[in-house]
């Protein structure tokens, strides 16, 4: 990290907020920490749209951690079937909900070390929760963030933990979750993995990236 990285990051963050002024988490969780946690686990290898589509029926039947922890084997699977890898996800979600009820009184914890005790929760989900729910900041080093930060020259590593830690030092805490949500949209629409739209890129137009 150096002053140049700091300056580029500040300009990129500013440009993201200007381009996407009112952008929130694509998962429609209605402000409920438990819902965001479960939806984030379901979003692995699945579109946010599909996770949103199953969520109404899912949370009507399972409004809290206890209802999932106590459910009959196979029932949860039926509700999340269309999100893919449903057996693995159901196993993780059940384990997650059991730990939530046994150790945290059913509430979603805020500490990274506690979040990482929950089934299906890795650093990506934990950072999403810490940033969006608790306002503690958190860089979600997903595939978009890893690609974009490398292309911008802010990081030279594909290791998610290195990307997370490097960007955590460059982006102010209060902007981290907003920055991550914007990076996802930017990565899907413009800085795509294959054939990025460099000719239409507002980051390039500001001289913050030379393109690939």
**Which residues bind to ligand SF4, rule: CB under 6 A?**
151-152, 190-191, 196-198, 201, 203-204, 209, 211-212
Q: How far is the CB of 142 from ligand SF4 (least distance, A)?
A: 16
Q: How far is the CB of 19 from ligand SF4 (least distance, A)?
A: 11
In sequence order, what DSSP letters do the residues of 70-97 get, joined into one string? TSPTTHHHHHHGGGS-HHHHHHHHHHHH
Per DSSP, which regions of the chain are E strands? none
Question: Based on CB atoms, which residue is closest to ligand SF4, 129 or 201?
Answer: 201
The CA distance from 91 to 119, in Å, is: 8
Q: How far is the CB of 31 from ligand SF4 (least distance, A)?
A: 32
Question: Based on CB atoms, which residue is closest to ligand SF4, 131 or 196?
Answer: 196
Give me Rg for the CA atoms of the chain: 18
Cβ contacts of 10 within 8 Å, gap of 6 or more = none
Question: Based on CB atoms, which residue is closest to ligand SF4, 15 or 76?
Answer: 15
Question: Based on CB atoms, which residue is closest to ligand SF4, 44 or 152?
Answer: 152
Q: How far is the CB of 23 from ligand SF4 (least distance, A)?
A: 17
Cα torsion 28, 21, 138, 105: sign: negative
């Amino acid at each position: 990290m150096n002053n140049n990285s700091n300056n580029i990051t500040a300009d990129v963050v500013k440009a993201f907020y200007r381009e996407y002024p009112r952008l929130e988490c694509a998962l429609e969780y209605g402000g409920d920490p438990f819902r965001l946690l479960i939806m984030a686990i379901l979003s692995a290898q699945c579109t946010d749209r599909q996770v949103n589509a199953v969520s109404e029926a899912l949370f009507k039947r399972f409004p809290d951690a206890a209802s999932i922890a106590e459910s009959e084997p196979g029932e949860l699977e039926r509700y999340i079937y269309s999100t893919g890898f449903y057996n693995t996800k159901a196993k993780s979600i059940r384990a997650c909900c059991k730990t939530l009820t046994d150790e945290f009184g059913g509430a979603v914890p805020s500490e990274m070390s506690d979040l990482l005790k929950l089934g299906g929760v890795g650093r990506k989900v934990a950072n999403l929760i810490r940033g969006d729910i608790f306002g503690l900041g958190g860089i979600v080093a997903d595939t978009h963030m890893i690609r974009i930060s490398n292309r911008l020259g802010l990081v030279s590593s594909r290791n998610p933990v290195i990307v997370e830690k490097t960007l955590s030092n460059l982006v102010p805490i209060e902007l981290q979750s907003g920055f991550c949500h914007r990076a996802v949209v930017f990565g899907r629409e413009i800085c795509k993995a294959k054939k990025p739209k460099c000719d239409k890129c507002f980051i390039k137009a500001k001289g913050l990236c030379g393109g690939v």
